[in-house]
C-alpha cells in the first residue's frame, strides 16, 4: 500500500521491528488490545486523514480563517473533517473505557496523530489542543471539572486552547501580566491579554475550554506565582447546558506564514471585568501543572515537524523517480535519453538527507512515545522512574532537533523539484512554511537548548544522560560484530565518549557558578546531542536490517538495503559535523558573551 | 545615517578600506568619475530605493500580478518606481556616455543594485533583466540590433527577458525543443514553449525584448546546436515605431512562493506560426553568447540573496536591541527588569551568524564585481586574464553559497523575532520566501557545484584555484603578525592546505575518467570552498580593523570591534565545519552513487 503520508513498510519496521508495540500489551491498562486493534486504529487513521484532512490542506492555506462581522470564518471542510474525527471516537483515543474512551497507549495516539499531521497540520491542531486540555484536566482537575469540561472534549463537542504567551512576554512566562481575582463563591475574575492562541475563537465546536495562566494579586513574583484557570468561552450550567457567553473577547486574528488553516488569535480576558475562571488544582501551581503536560506537547510538536518533513520527502521522492531531466556528467551524447532526476548523485544526496532526518527523527519520537507509556504503566517503579528520566532528557531534543532538521528536509524537497517546487501549484512549499513554526512554538529552540544542558543533563547527578549514553554504547557494541557496521559502531562510541567529556566540562563550569558561560553555546550542544541520538537510531535500524537481510524477500531486501545506505550516509555525511561542535563546547567559547550590543 | 537596507559604515568599509573603489578610477573608461560621483550614485540609489521601491514591497507580494481578461495586472506602484528609475538614468548605468549612459564601472552598478534589491527584489528584477538584455546586445548584437533594441532599453522604454527554460527541461538546456526556421529575408520563425519567464508579459514598458534560445532544424544535437534570437513583443519598424504584435502568447502565470511582485510566465512562441525572431551573432553560438553574460547574472543572483539576508539581519538586529524579554540564566530575581533580546547569548549567536553570512558574502560579491571591471578594463592583458580566471572560479560560489547561507540568515532573522517573525505583519518572513528562489534559478545550486569542481578548478591546469589560494595565504601571512589574529591565520592556512590536497585527489579521480565518482560530492566541495573564501574575507576585514583600531574614534571603535568579533565567530563557529567535508571528499565517498533508486 503506497501513501503520500508515510511509507507503510517503514511504519511496520518501526512498530514491529525497532520498538515492537507488543511490549505495550504487557501493561494491564492495554491488555484488552492486540496487535490487530492497534493495526486497525492506524489503518482507520490513515483512511480518515486521506479522505477528510488531506483534501483541504491547500484550501485552508489559501482561504485562511478570517473575520466576517467580528466572527471567525473557517472553510466548511474543516468542521466536516473534525466532526468525522470525533465521530470515529478519536477525540477519546487516550480516554478510559469507562468514560467512552479507546484506552489506547500514548504511542498509538502519536502514531495516529502522525497520519493526520502529514495530511493537514492545521486542522489536526484543533484536535491536539483539545486533547491536551482533556489530559491536563484528567491529571489536575476535580471530578466536577472533568465532568463539565473534559467529558465534552472526549465526545468531540468542546475544543480547547492553551493560553500562555502574552504580547509583551513571548517566551518569558515569568513576566505574564494576566491577573485573577478570587470571588466569594470561589470562582475567579480574570483580566489580561493572551497572544498566539491557536484555536482561540471559532464556531467549530459548541464551546472552547481555555486553560489560562494568570497570577493572583498576592502571588509571589516570577513563575512561582502562576496559577492555572479554566475559562470557558460559554459558561456551563450544572446540567451541562451552555449558559452565558463569558467575557473573552477576540481582539484580533494573526496572519501567519504557514499553518494558516488553524485560526491564531489575540484574546482579551475581562474587558468588561466579567471574565469568569475556575482554578485548577491549587494556587501558584499553574506552571508545574502545565509542565506536567509539556513532554507530550513537545513530542507532539516534534512529530508535527517530522510529518511535514515526511510528506515533503515522499513527494520529492516520487517526483524524482518520475521526472526525467539531464544526464550523467560522463554521458556526452545529447541524443541519449535523459535520466530520472533521482539518478543524479546530488539529487540522491538531497533525498538521503531528507530520509535520514525524517525517518531518524520519527524513530526517536516514537521511542519517546514508548517512554511516556512506560513511565505511566510499567509495573516496576524503578523502570517507570528510568523511563521518566530518559523522556525528560529526550524531549527537548525531539522537539528542537526535529523542528530544525525536518524543516531543512522541506527545504531540500523544494530544491529537488526546482522551479516547480517554488510554486504554489506543488505542495512542498507549503510544508516548508507550515513547518517553520515548529522551531518557534512550545518553547523556542534556543530555550530547548538551555533546558537540555542547564537542567536535563544535570538532573539526578546526570542519571538520565548516563542511562541514555549506556543505551547508545550497547547498540554500538551490538553493531560492532555485524559485518559492515563496525565503522559506524566505532564512530558512535567515539562520539559518545566525546559527548560525555564535553558534558563533564560544561557541568563543571555550571557548578562553579559560571552559568552564563556554561550555557552560552547550549544550542550547539543540543545539535550535537541530536545528531548523536539520530546516529544511534540509524545504527539500531541498521543492525536490524543487517540481520534481516539474508533471509529477506526481494521487496524487503530493497527496503533493508535502503536502511543500511541511510545509516552509512548519516554516519559519513552528517555525524562528523558533531566533532567541531564538541571541540567548540569543550573550549567554553565565549564569543557571544564577549561581543556587546553596540559592536553590532 | 541609518538605513533598513544596509549599514552605511559597512558599505564605506567595503568600498574605501577593503576593496577601494579608487582603483577603478585608474581605468581610462572611468577617468571622468571621482570618489564623489560614485558616492552620489550610491546616495541617489538609496534614496530612490527607499522612496519608490521599498514602500510597495509587501503590497506587490499580497496583490501579486494576475490575469484580468487575459492581460497581466500589476499594481501601479511598480510602474511608478520603474519610471522613476529610468528617469534617473539608471537603466543606462553601464552605457557609454555617447549613447547617453552613465558609463559607470560594473562594481558601482552592483552596489547600486544592492540598495534596490534590499528594498524590493521583485520590482528590481525588471531592471536587471532589461539590463542583461542590453548588455548581451552590446556584446553580440549588430549595430542595427543595438539601435533598434538596446537603445530603447537604456532609455527605459523597453524591458527584456531571458527565455531559456522549457517545461520539460528546467536545468537541462541540452534538451530544449524550441525550433527556429530561417526565412527568405534572413529572419526566423520560432515555434516552442518557454517556462519560468520573469517579466514575460506586462504593460510596464512600450515593448519587451525576449532573448530566446532555440534550435534550427539542422542544428547539431545538444547545447552545441543552440542559437540565440531576439523576439520582440511588438515588431519594431525601421523608424523605431512599433509595428504589429508578434506571435508570442501568454499561456499562463506561475504562482510563486516568493518574489511574487515580478510576473513569472509561461510563454508560447509561434502558436499561429507567425513568431518572428532575429538571430543574434551566428547560428549555434547561442549558449556561448548567453554564458558570456552568465558571470554577471550569477553574481547578480548572489547579490539578490545577500541583500534579502542583509535586510532581514538589519530588521532582526534592530528588533533584538529594542525588545526586552527574559533574563540571563543566573538572574534569579523575577522582579528585575527583563533584558533586551540581544543580551541573550543565543540571540547574539543568531545575529552573529547573520552578520557573518551577509557581510562576508557581500564583501566577496563586491570583490567579484571588481574582477569584472578588472577583466574588462585593466591595461595589462595578463592582469585581465588573471581577473577573468578568478572571476570564473568565484562566480558559482558567489551565486550558490550566498543563495544558501543568506537564505539561512533569513531563517535566523525569523527565529530572533519568534512568533512575530512568523507573521506577515513583519517583513522577515517575506525576505525568507523571496530568498528561497536564489538557490534554484540561474543554474540550481547542485549545478553550480559541478561547474565549480568539474570545470572551474580544473581549467587552465588549475591556474584559477592556485591564484586564489595564493591570495588566501597572503592574507593569512599578513594576519599572522597582527596581535590576536594568529589563531585565525593558522586556521586559514591549514584549511587552504587541506582544500588544495582535496582538490588534487578529486582532480586525479576526474582525470582517470571516474567522472561520476569525482563529482558525486560536488555540493560539499562548493560548501567547503565557500566557507573557506568567506573565512578569507573575514580575516581580510579583521586585519584592516585591527590596524585601524588604535587610532579609531569611539563610534568607529565599536564598528571595528564588531568586525573582529565576527571574524572570531566565523573562525570558531563556522569554518571548522569544513574539516569533515574535506575528509569526506578526500575519501571519495560513493554512498550516493551506490544507493539505487529502488532502495528509497
Please report the ipTM that was assigned to this predicted complex: 0.97
Average pLDDT, integer, range B390-407: 98
Distance from CA of B494 to the nearest CA of A (A): 15
Q: Cell numbers at residue A442, please?
A: 512550545
Short-list B406, B391, B482, CA closest to B437: B406
Distance in Å, alpha carbon of A141 to nearest chain B alpha carbon: 28
Taking an 8 Å cut-off on Cβ atoms, the answer to whether A440 and B573 are in contact is no
Q: Which of A170, A348, A351 sits opposite B419 (nearest CB)?
A: A170
Neighboring chain A residues of B580 at a CB cutoff of 8 Å: 576-577, 579-580
**Helices within B204-341 (DSSP H only):** 286-292, 294-322
- DSSP code for B92: G
Quick one: closest CA in B to A423, which residue?
A: B256
Instruction: Among B327, B346, B592, select the one facing A522 at the smallest CB separation.
Output: B346
Q: Tell which residue, A443, A359, A357, has the closest CA to residue A407.
A: A357
Q: H or E segment at B264?
A: strand B264-269
Could you tell me if B218 and B283 are in contact, meaning their C-beta atoms sit under 8 angstroms apart?
no
Q: Pick from B330, B439, B583: which is nearest to A516 by CB?
A: B330
CB contact under 8 A, B450 and A577: no
Query: What residues in A contact B257, CB-CB < 8 Å?
Result: 414, 422-424, 429, 432-433
Residue B128 has pLDDT above 70, yes or no: yes
Residue partners of B388: CB distance under 8 A and separation at least 6: B371, B375
CB A283 within 8 A of CB A227: yes
Q: Which residues of B are catalytic?
A: 442
As a whole number of angstroms, the distance between CA B539 and CA B537 comes to 5
A558 and B599 within 8 Å at the Cβ level: the answer is yes
Q: Which of B290, B293, B294, B298 is nearest to B526 (CA)?
A: B298
What pLDDT band is residue B169 in, cutting at 50, 70 and 90? confident
For residue B351, the chain A residue with the least C-alpha distance is: A600
What is the average per-residue pLDDT within B33-51? 97
Q: What is the mean pLDDT of residues B472-486?
A: 97
Please judge whether A346 and B568 are an interchain contact, meaning their C-beta atoms are less than 8 angstroms apart.
no
Q: Evaluate whether A262 touches A199 at the Cβ level (below 8 Å).
A: yes
CA atoms within 13 A on the CB side of A462: 14
Contact B242, B231 (CB under 8 A): no
Among A222, A349, A424, select the one facing B255 at the smallest CB separation. Answer: A424
Residues near B53 by beta carbon (within 8 Å), at least 6 away in sequence: B81, B116, B119, B120, B123, B124
pLDDT band at A168 (very low <50, low <70, confident <90, very high): confident
Cell of B193: 514553449
Chain B nearest CA to A147, separation (Å)? 34
CA distances from B401 to B137, B298, B306, B398, B527 (A): 29, 11, 10, 6, 7
Percent of chain A with pLDDT over 90: 94
- Test B519 with A345 for CB contact under 8 angstroms: yes
pLDDT for residue B152: 98
The helix/strand/coil state of A272 is: coil
Q: How far apart are the C-alpha atoms of B338 and B347, rounded to whole Å?
A: 14
Closest chain A CA to residue B403 = A415
Is A405:A357 a contact under the CB 8 Å cutoff? yes
Instruction: Please write down the HEC assignment for all residues of A25-79.
Output: HHCHHHCCCCHHHHHHHHHHHHHHHHHHHHHHCCHHHHCCCEEECCEEECCHHHH
Contact B420 A258 (CB under 8 A): no
Chain B residue whose CA is closest to A197: B419
Residue B346 phi, psi (nearest 5): -70, -30
> What's the angle, vertex CA A54, arms to CA A48 and CA A55, rounded to 5?
110
Interchain pair A345, B441: CB under 8 A: no
3-state secondary structure of A137: helix
Backbone angles phi, psi at B234, to 5 degrees: -110, 135
**Contact residues, chain B, for A589 at CB < 8 Å:** 572-573
Look at residue A2 and tell me whether its pLDDT is greater than 90.
Answer: no
Tell me the chain B residues in contact with residue A287 when contact means C-beta distances shorter than 8 Å: none
Distances (CA, A) of B404 to A237, A280, B7, B435: 57, 48, 22, 9
A530 Cβ contact list (under 8 Å, min separation 6):
A397, A400, A401, A405
Angle between helical axes of B381-417 and B428-435 (0-180°, round to 10): 140
* pLDDT greater than 90 at residue A1: no
Contact status, residue B415 vs residue A440, Cβ threshold 8 Å: yes
- Averaged pLDDT of chain B: 96
* Strand partners of residue B324: B340
Q: Which residues of A touch B423 (CB under 8 A)?
A: 254-257
* B321–chain A nearest CA distance, Å: 7
- Cα–Cα distance measured from residue A135 to residue A137, given in angstroms and rounded to the nearest whole number: 5
The answer for residues whose C-beta is within 8 angstroms of residue B292's C-beta and 6 or more apart is: B136, B139, B140
Q: Of A422, A444, A568, which is closest to B437 when you measure between CB atoms?
A: A422
Distances (CA, A) of B454 to A325, B93, B447: 19, 35, 10
Q: Which residues touch B348 (CB under 8 Å, ≥6 apart)? A: A592, A593, A595, B342
Judged against a pLDDT cut of 70, whether residue B170 lies above it is answered with: no
The CA distances from residue A34 to A9, A25, A367, in Å, are 20, 7, 19
Q: Checking DSSP bridges between strand B226-232 and strand B207-215, what pairing results, if any?
A: antiparallel
Q: How confident is the model at residue A160 (pLDDT cuts 50, 70, 90)?
A: very high
* Cell numbers found for residue A511: 557548578
* B345·A572 Cβ contact <8 A: no
**Does the beta-carbon distance from A346 to B174 stay under 8 Å?**
no
Using a CB-CB cut-off of 8 Å, the residues of chain A touching B557 are none
Local structure of B468: helix, strand or coil: helix
Q: In this structure, what C-alpha cell is assigned to residue A324?
A: 526525467
Residue B573: pLDDT above 70? yes
Among the listed residues A440, A443, A441, A431, the one whose alpha carbon sits nearest the alpha carbon of residue A407: A431
Pairing verdict, β A188-198 and A179-182: antiparallel
- Checking if the pLDDT of A445 tops 90, the result is yes
Nearest to B290 by CA among B194, B153, B166, B161: B161
Q: How far is CA B13 from the centre of its chain?
A: 21
Chain B residues near residue A450 by CB distance under 8 angstroms: 329, 346
Nearest to B190 by CA among B178, B200, B176, B201: B178
- Using alpha carbons, select from B228, B231, B227 the residue that is nearest to residue B249: B231
Q: Provide the 10 A C-beta neighbour count for residue B183.
A: 10
Taking CB atoms and an 8 Å limit, are A446 and B597 in contact across chains?
no
Helix and strand element counts for chain A (H, E): 21, 12
CB atoms within 10 A of CB B552: 15
The model's pLDDT over B405-458, given as tens digits with 9 standing for 90+, comes to 999 999 999 999 999 999 999 999 999 999 999 999 999 999 999 999 999 999
Name A71's bridge partners. Answer: A68
- How far does A43 lie from chain B, in Å, by closest CA? 23
How far is it, in rounded angstroms, from Cα B477 to Cα B479?
A: 5
Closest C-alpha among B92, B24, B17 to residue B378 = B24
Residue A332 has pLDDT above 90, yes or no: no
Please judge whether A580 and B583 are an interchain contact, meaning their C-beta atoms are less than 8 angstroms apart. no
Given a cut of 90, is residue B45 above it in pLDDT?
yes
The residues pairing with A189 across neighbouring beta strands, listed in sequence order, are: A181, A276
Cell of B135: 548588455
- A interface test, pick of B263, B346, B425, B488 with most A CB neighbours within 10 Å: B346
Q: Do A449 and B255 touch (CB under 8 A)?
A: no
Taking contacts as CB-CB distances below 8 angstroms, the residues of chain B near A579 are: 579-580
For range A306-328, the mean pLDDT: 96
Partners of A277 in the β-ladder? A188
Residue B294 pLDDT level (bands cut at 50, 70, 90): confident
**Does residue A121 carry a pLDDT above 80?**
yes
Q: Beta-carbon neighbour count of residue B48 at 10 Å?
A: 21
Which residues, 6 or more positions from A466, have their beta carbon under 8 angstroms from its beta carbon?
A: none
Residue B1, pLDDT score: 60
A422/B344 touch (CB, cutoff 8 Å), yes or no: no
Task: Say yes or no to pLDDT of B171 above 70.
Answer: no
Given A330, A442, A512, A579, which residue is catalytic? A442
Q: Is A501 a catalytic residue?
A: no
Q: Which residues of A touch B511 (CB under 8 A)?
A: none
- Determine the Cα–Cα distance for residues B515 and B507; give it in Å rounded to an integer: 9
Question: Mutate which of A419, A506, A561, A573 to test chain B, going by most B C-beta atoms within 10 A?
Answer: A419
Amino acid at each position: 500500500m503506497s501513501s503520500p503520508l508515510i511509507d507503510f513498510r517503514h511504519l511496520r519496521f518501526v512498530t514491529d521491528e525497532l520498538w515492537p508495540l507488543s511490549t505495550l500489551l504487557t501493561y494491564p491498562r492495554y491488555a484488552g488490545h492486540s496487535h490487530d486493534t492497534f493495526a486497525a486504529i492506524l489503518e482507520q487513521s490513515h483512511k480518515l486523514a486521506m479522505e477528510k484532512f488531506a483534501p483541504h490542506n491547500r484550501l485552508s492555506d489559501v482561504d485562511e480563517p478570517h473575520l466576517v462581522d467580528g466572527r471567525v470564518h473557517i472553510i466548511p471542510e474543516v468542521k466536516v473533517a473534525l466532526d468525522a474525527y470525533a465521530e470515529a471516537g478519536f477525540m477519546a483515543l487516550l480516554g478510559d473505557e469507562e468514560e467512552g474512551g479507546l484506552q489506547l497507549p500514548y504511542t498509538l495516539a502519536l502514531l495516529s496523530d502522525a497520519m493526520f499531521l502529514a495530511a493537514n497540520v492545521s486542522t489536526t491542531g484543533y484536535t491536539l489542543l483539545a486533547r491536551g486540555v482533556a489530559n491536563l484536566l484528567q491529571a489536575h482537575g476535580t471530578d466536577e471539572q472533568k465532568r463539565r469540561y473534559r467529558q465534552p472534549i472526549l465526545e468531540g463537542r468542546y475544543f480547547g486552547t492553551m493560553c500562555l504567551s502574552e504580547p509583551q512576554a513571548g517566551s518569558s512566562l515569568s513576566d505574564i501580566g494576566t491577573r485573577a481575582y478570587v470571588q466569594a463563591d470561589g470562582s475567579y475574575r480574570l483580566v489580561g491579554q493572551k497572544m498566539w492562541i491557536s484555536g482561540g475563537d471559532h464556531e467549530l465546536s459548541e464551546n472552547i475550554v481555555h486553560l489560562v495562566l494568570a497570577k493572583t494579586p498576592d502571588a509571589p513574583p516570577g513563575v512561582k506565582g502562576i496559577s492555572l484557570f479554566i475559562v470557558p468561552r460559554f459558561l456551563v450550567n450544572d446540567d451541562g447546558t451552555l449558559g452565558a457567553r463569558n467575557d473573552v473577547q477576540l481582539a484580533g486574528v494573526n496572519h501567519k506564514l504557514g499553518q494558516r488553516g488553524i485560526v491564531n488569535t489575540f484574546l482579551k480576558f475581562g474587558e468588561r471585568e466579567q471574565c469568569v475562571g475556575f482554578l485548577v488544582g491549587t494556587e501558584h501551581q499553574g506552571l508545574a501543572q502545565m509542565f506536567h503536560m509539556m513532554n507530550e506537547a513537545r513530542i507532539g510538536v516534534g512529530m508535527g515537524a517530522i510529518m511535514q518533513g515526511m510528506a515533503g520527502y515522499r513527494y520529492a521522492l516520487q517526483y524524482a523517480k518520475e521526472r526525467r531531466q539531464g544526464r550523467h556528467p560522463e554521458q556526452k551524447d545529447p541524443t541519449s535519453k535523459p535520466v530520472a532526476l533521482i539518478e543524479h548523485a546530488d539529487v540522491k544526496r538531497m533525498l538521503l538527507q531528507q530520509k535520514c532526518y525524517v525517518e531518524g527523527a520519527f524513530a526517536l519520537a516514537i521511542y519517546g512515545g514508548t517512554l511516556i507509556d512506560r513511565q505511566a504503566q510499567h509495573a516496576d517503579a524503578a523502570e517507570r522512574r528510568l523511563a521518566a528520566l530518559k523522556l525528560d532528557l529526550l524531549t527537548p531534543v525531539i522537539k528542537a532537533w526535529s523542528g530544525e532538521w525536518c524543516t531543512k528536509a522541506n527545504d531540500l524537497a523544494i530544491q529537488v523539484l526546482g522551479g516547480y517546487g517554488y510554486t504554489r501549484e506543488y505542495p512542498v512549499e507549503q510544508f516548508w512554511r507550515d513547518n517553520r513554526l515548529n522551531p518557534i512554538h512550545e518553547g523556542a529552540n534556543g530555550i530547548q537548548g538551555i533546558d537540555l544542558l542547564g537542567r536535563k543533563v544535570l538532573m539526578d547527578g546526570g542519571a538520565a544522560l548516563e542511562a541514555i549514553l549506556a543505551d547508545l554504547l550497547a547498540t554500538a557494541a551490538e553493531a560492532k560484530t555485524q559485518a559492515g557496521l563496525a565503522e559506524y559502531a566505532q564512530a558512535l562510541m567515539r562520539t559518545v565518549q566525546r559527548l560525555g567529556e564535553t558534558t563533564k566540562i560544561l557541568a563543571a563550569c555550571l557548578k562553579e557558578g559560571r552559568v552564563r558561560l556554561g550555557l552560552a553555546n547550549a544550542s550547539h550542544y543540543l545539535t550535537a546531542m541530536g545528531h548523536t541520538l539520530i546516529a544511534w537510531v540509524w545504527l539500531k535500524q541498521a543492525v536490524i536490517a543487517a540481520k534481516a537481510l539474508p533471509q529477506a524477500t526481494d521487496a524487503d531486501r530493497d527496503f533493508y538495503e535502503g536502511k543500511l545506505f541511510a545509516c552509512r550516509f548519516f554516519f559519513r555525511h552528517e555525524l562528523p559535523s558533531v566533532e567541531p561542535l564538541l571541540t567548540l563546547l569543550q573550549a567554553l567559547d565565549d564569543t557571544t558573551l564577549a561581543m556587546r550590543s553596540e559592536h553590532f
